[in-house]
Structure 1
Amino acid sequence: MKLERSTPALIGFVIAGALSLWLQYVIVPYSTPYWGLFDNFLDLDVYRAGAQVVLDGGDLYDAKLLGQMDFTYAPFSMALFVPFALMSATTAHAVWTIGIFVALYFVIVLGFRSLGHDVTWRLRVIAASLVAASALLEPVRSTIWFGQINVFLMLLIVADLIRPEGSRLRGLGAGLAAGIKLTPMLFVVYFAAVRQWKTVVGVIGGFVGSVLVGFIVLPAASWKFWTDTVFDSDRVSSPQTVGNQSIRGGIANVYSTDHPSTVIWIASAVVVLALVMTAAVLAHRRGQELLALSLVGMASCTVSPVSWGHHWVWFVPLLVVAVHHLIDGAGRWRRGLIGALTVLGVLATAAWRTHLAYPIWYANRSVEEAYLTGLFFKHDLDVIGWFAVQPYNVLLVVVATATIGLCLRPSASTDPPVTAVGDRR
């Protein structure tokens, strides 16, 4: 059954999308003050406040934004944030939110196209339905709720790197994304592993170019960031924080310490990174570039000192890969395994609600009650406590291991290999 030509698939996805909108209301009603899906925008307001400091000639990395928040991105990010500082808060919130949904839509469409699907009107409707469904995942819901940037960076990287090897300026977009947030530089390791040296040069060139632009436009802020601020990971948050879904955060939360062992962290990160890179390289050799990019994107989250749930938006293109294989490209045995992993992934990343009917301090303010979302807020439950501490890292290891197993099987792929948009071998 071809996804983009199937009326039953279209109807099923539309129903799933509509159901997702209702479930979003069930999790937290849209009209709930502060906790409703469109009623926070803390991170976007921090971005705007940082941009205003720059416009006013202040010190970006010494300023306390919104009373106590620090600015953590590189100076080059001002190219994106300054225009939003020039808007009213209401306009900025609306434009940013619409932008997130549009970016998700394009990530999904580009993902399906890279897997060999024709972009028909049916596929576009299915993609819109998946946007609604993906908003039920904690990384995406939190991205919308906080007004986070990660979906935009993911789109820039996917649109850049899903193109065929040798495409003009391939890697530049990923490098520019790394110039805003360092973690995309991990794609250099992946493309070196698959010996795509032109793309390696493109990523490094984009990154270096972003740094140079920062020094030209904001020399003092750039000097401070690249010689001091960039090395202070605790500036983002204490590592022992519920929701820190990096390996370092896992160690800090498991051992209840704000000073996790650097040796254990680095050793664990090296092991996980080796596993994920092996899986990504094997996926690449099987022509599954979107899967490889998704694995590397998730790996960039796990090796970072601090990775909040909303950094893990790479589950969205991974969902596209799963849908493709479940409907179009898998034998019975593989389809069963991929289906089981998809169910596990959705359950692990869903925006599970934890309601606290008492005042707490949360995200820069005191609230009378809390509607916390994410499985990691349920780490006190006896049955799933060990898993809920770091569900995203566990899921990454499981997906990487399954990818290696499937790719090493002689009949690992029944599809013609697809390497990039519009390029089928």
Structure 2
Amino acid sequence: MPLRTPFWGLFDYQLDLDVYRGGALTVWDGGSLYDAKLLGQMDYTYAPVSVLVLMPFAWMSFEAARIVWSVGIIIALYLVIMLSFRALGRRASWPLRCLAIALVAVVMLLEPVRTTIWYGQINVFLLLLILADLLRDERSRLKGVGTGIAAGIKLTPLLFVLYLALLRRWRTLAGVVGGFVLTAVVGFAFLPRESWAYWTDKIFDSNRVGAPQTLGNQSLRGMIANLMHTDSPNTAVWLVLVLIALGLGMGSAVLAHRRGHELLAVSIVGMTSCAISPMSWGHHWVWFVPLVVICVDLMLRADLSVLRRVVAGAGLVALMLVAFAWRTHFAYPMWFVNRTVPDAYFTGLFFKSQTGPAWAQWFLVYPYNAIFVGTTVATLVVLGLPVVRSRRATLSAPEDPLSDSVETPPR
């Protein structure tokens, strides 16, 4: 779709940004944040402290806010990519910066990123905050605090507490807990009524985010709901799948960390949080962005065998095909959130389940599971091989045009 197609163009909607502004304006005007129906029907779902962060956008016009927000997302994508390359041991150089700019355009073709921009979502900013925090030097006293603040805004990053506990990285874990508690304290200090309502009631109502049986709910619970055609998926089945996902995710993340691949480990934990969450929209899976960088980095390393570089390239192609912003056109009027539209253009492979064959439904309703399972299983197999265990995680300097030297990746 052209970027400026009315309503459906990349920069022509930003509904969630408008909801953020509506929540901030409700608080500014003395209203009840979690009882208000924003834009006529939308609930505010984030923790109270988020309103304080978003308040400046309520003080500007919606047109100004959407421009600032969209530009901010693009800048954040660039910083995420550069941080990822740095974590992989590459020094910043102009060729690398040019590659990062090109990759910004590439990852905008992914449904999670495309939808984040279209809705005006917050996910890329949280991704940047977590990567900047957890990929910093281990000696940093504030390591973990940024992740805790991200969790205080949107709860899913709390899974990093389990990851850090498994690694016995107690100081970083304390930083996460401290950052999280800080956001709650600030929330109670400035918004006591909203904070009490959220932490004692609203936090337990996952239906405020959306009904489980919704195309685009890329969580295990959403998979069960969509396959079984119910808004009350079996809790026991869901919990079993959650335990399996935790085993795959945490096992592969811990292994990746111990082999010196911290960026991969952090990305896997991020994807695991999306998988086990009761509700995960497609745009929550922005963790695919560092995976793209990892694949590109492997393809450029001259010290790897041709076979491994080809496999990395194949993995990148598979990731792009599964997470691509495939368009599905519904040529009939429908109610879309807060307005009636004459026809609809939805993006994401999961919308192909409406027109795809019945035998492929198990895949089409939850395609991101393929990336999650593929990444975790590949990590367990490849990094668990004896030939890999016998080598140091730090690779020798690659002879490529992007970097003169390679730093030791953070462990």
Match of 2:12 in 1: 39
* Alpha-carbon distance in 2 for matches of 1:228, 1:353: 38
Please tell me whether residue 83 in structure 1 is matched to residue 60 in structure 2.
no
Please tell me whether residue 310 in structure 1 is matched to residue 283 in structure 2.
yes
1:179-258 equivalence runs, <5 A: 179-258=152-231
How far does residue 342 in structure 1 lie from its aligned partner after superposition? 1.7
Residues 421 and 361 (structure 1), Cα distance of their counterparts in 2 relative to 1, 3 Å cut: farther
1:55 to 13, 28, 38: 28
Match of 2:375 in 1: 399
1:417 to 394, 397, 400: 394
* Alpha-carbon distance in 2 for matches of 1:331, 1:291: 20
* Alpha-carbon distance in 2 for matches of 1:177, 1:238: 24
Residues 423 and 257 (structure 1), Cα distance of their counterparts in 2 relative to 1, 3 Å cut: closer
CA contact (8 A) 1:141 1:351 kept: yes
How far does residue 422 in structure 1 lie from its aligned partner after superposition? 6.4
Kindly report the root-mean-square deviation, in angstroms, between the aligned alpha carbons of the 2 structures: 1.6
Match of 1:375 in 2: 349
* Alpha-carbon distance in 2 for matches of 1:156, 1:88: 26
Match of 2:331 in 1: 357
How far does residue 424 in structure 1 lie from its aligned partner after superposition? 6.2
* Alpha-carbon distance in 2 for matches of 1:412, 1:212: 46
Runs of 4+ aligned residues of structure 1 deviating over 3 Å after TM superposition are 413-416, 420-425
Deviations 1:104-160 (A, max 9, x none): 000000100111111001111110110011000000000000000000000000000
Deviations 1:203-240 (A, max 9, x none): 01100110011000000000000000000001111100
After TM superposition, the score normalised by the length of structure 1 is 0.91
CA contact (8 A) 1:240 1:252 kept: yes
Aligned AA for 1:158? Answer: L
Residues 40 and 424 (structure 1), Cα distance of their counterparts in 2 relative to 1, 3 Å cut: closer
CA contact (8 A) 1:163 1:421 kept: no
Aligned AA for 1:275? Answer: L
After TM superposition, the score normalised by the length of structure 2 is 0.94
Please tell me whether residue 117 in structure 1 is matched to residue 93 in structure 2.
no
Q: Across the two proteins, how many residue pairs are aligned to each other?
A: 397
Comparing 336-345 and 352-361, the one that deviates more: 336-345
How far does residue 415 in structure 1 lie from its aligned partner after superposition? 7.0
* Alpha-carbon distance in 2 for matches of 1:51, 1:417: 47
How far does residue 421 in structure 1 lie from its aligned partner after superposition? 8.0
Unaligned residue ranges in structure 2 (runs of 5+) = 396-405
Give the share of equivalent positions with the same residue, in percent.
Answer: 56
1:264 to 231, 237, 261: 237
Match of 1:6 in 2: none
* Alpha-carbon distance in 2 for matches of 1:244, 1:361: 19
1:390 to 346, 351, 366: 366
Match of 2:340 in 1: 366
Match of 2:399 in 1: none
Residues 185 and 77 (structure 1), Cα distance of their counterparts in 2 relative to 1, 3 Å cut: same
CA contact (8 A) 1:177 1:184 kept: yes
Please tell me whether residue 289 in structure 1 is matched to residue 265 in structure 2.
no
* Alpha-carbon distance in 1 for matches of 2:118, 2:410: 38
1:319 to 292, 310, 318: 292
Deviations 1:247-270 (A, max 9, x none): 000000010000001111111011
Unaligned residue ranges in structure 1 (runs of 5+) = 1-27
Comparing 191-200 and 92-101, the one that deviates more: 191-200
CA contact (8 A) 1:237 1:306 kept: yes
CA contact (8 A) 2:137 2:410 kept: no
* Alpha-carbon distance in 2 for matches of 1:307, 1:206: 23
Aligned AA for 2:157? Answer: P
Aligned AA for 1:347? Answer: L
Residues 424 and 401 (structure 1), Cα distance of their counterparts in 2 relative to 1, 3 Å cut: closer
Where 1:372 maps in the other structure, the secondary structure is strand
* Alpha-carbon distance in 1 for matches of 2:210, 2:315: 31
